[in-house]
């Protein structure tokens, strides 16, 4: 599937603010742009070059790590889980899990509909391009064309 550049839906009719944001976006180099690379483990990405990576299946994978090897007896499972949650590694895993859930919420709040997706400045998106640098270059070409 060929990659395409599209606009993400905007939240409201704040015309002056949108005009100012557009002017700022064109005056700042794309290298300073906010780049979000959204995918999952089934759709690996390459050339991330400073992009924030969001893996939509990360929460599920982290939850599996946290609950791995729990016994079938619920009381034993609760006791073992409480013991695990007191460990430093489980506390780090909990922080990672909270961040993964926030990343997923951020990705879905943008209205992303397909994977992989590369989003620049929360406004432009390229779908279907696993090479993040190439997707950003497509967006840069699109932006410089004056559209």
The per-residue pLDDT for range 73-99, each reduced to its tens digit, is 999 999 988 888 888 888 898 899 999
Q: How far apart are CA 47 and CA 70, in angstroms?
A: 38
pLDDT for residue 8: 63
Q: Which two tokens stand for residue 59?
A: 């929460």
Helix (H, G, I), strand (E, B) or coil at 54: strand
Phi-psi region of 17 (alpha: psi -120 to 50; beta: other; left: phi over 0): alpha
Q: Cβ distance 93 to 65 under 8 Å? A: yes
Give, for 123, the enclosing helix (H) or strand (E). none
Kindly report the pTM of this predicted structure: 0.71
The length of the chain, given as a count of residues: 147
pLDDT for residue 14: 43
Q: Return the C-alpha torsion angle 115, 121, 124, 128, nearest 10.
A: -20
Eight-state DSSP code of residue 41: T
pLDDT for residue 3: 63
Q: Which residues of the chain have pLDDT under 50?
A: 11-31
């Amino acid at each position: 599937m060929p990659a395409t550049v599209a606009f993400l839906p905007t939240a409201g009719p704040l015309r002056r603010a949108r005009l100012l944001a557009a002017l700022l976006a064109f005056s700042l180099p794309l290298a300073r742009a906010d780049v979000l690379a959204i995918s999952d483990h089934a759709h690996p990405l390459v050339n991330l070059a400073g992009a924030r990576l969001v893996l939509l299946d990360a929460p599920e994978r982290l939850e599996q790590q946290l609950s791995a090897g729990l016994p079938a007896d619920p009381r034993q499972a609760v006791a073992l889980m409480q013991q695990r949650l007191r460990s430093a590694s489980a506390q780090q895993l909990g922080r990672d899990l909270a961040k993964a859930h926030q990343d997923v919420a951020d990705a879905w709040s943008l209205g992303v509909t397909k994977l992989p997706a590369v989003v620049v400045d929360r406004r432009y998106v390229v779908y279907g391009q696993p090479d993040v640098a190439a997707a950003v270059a497509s967006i840069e070409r699109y932006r410089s064309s004056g559209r």
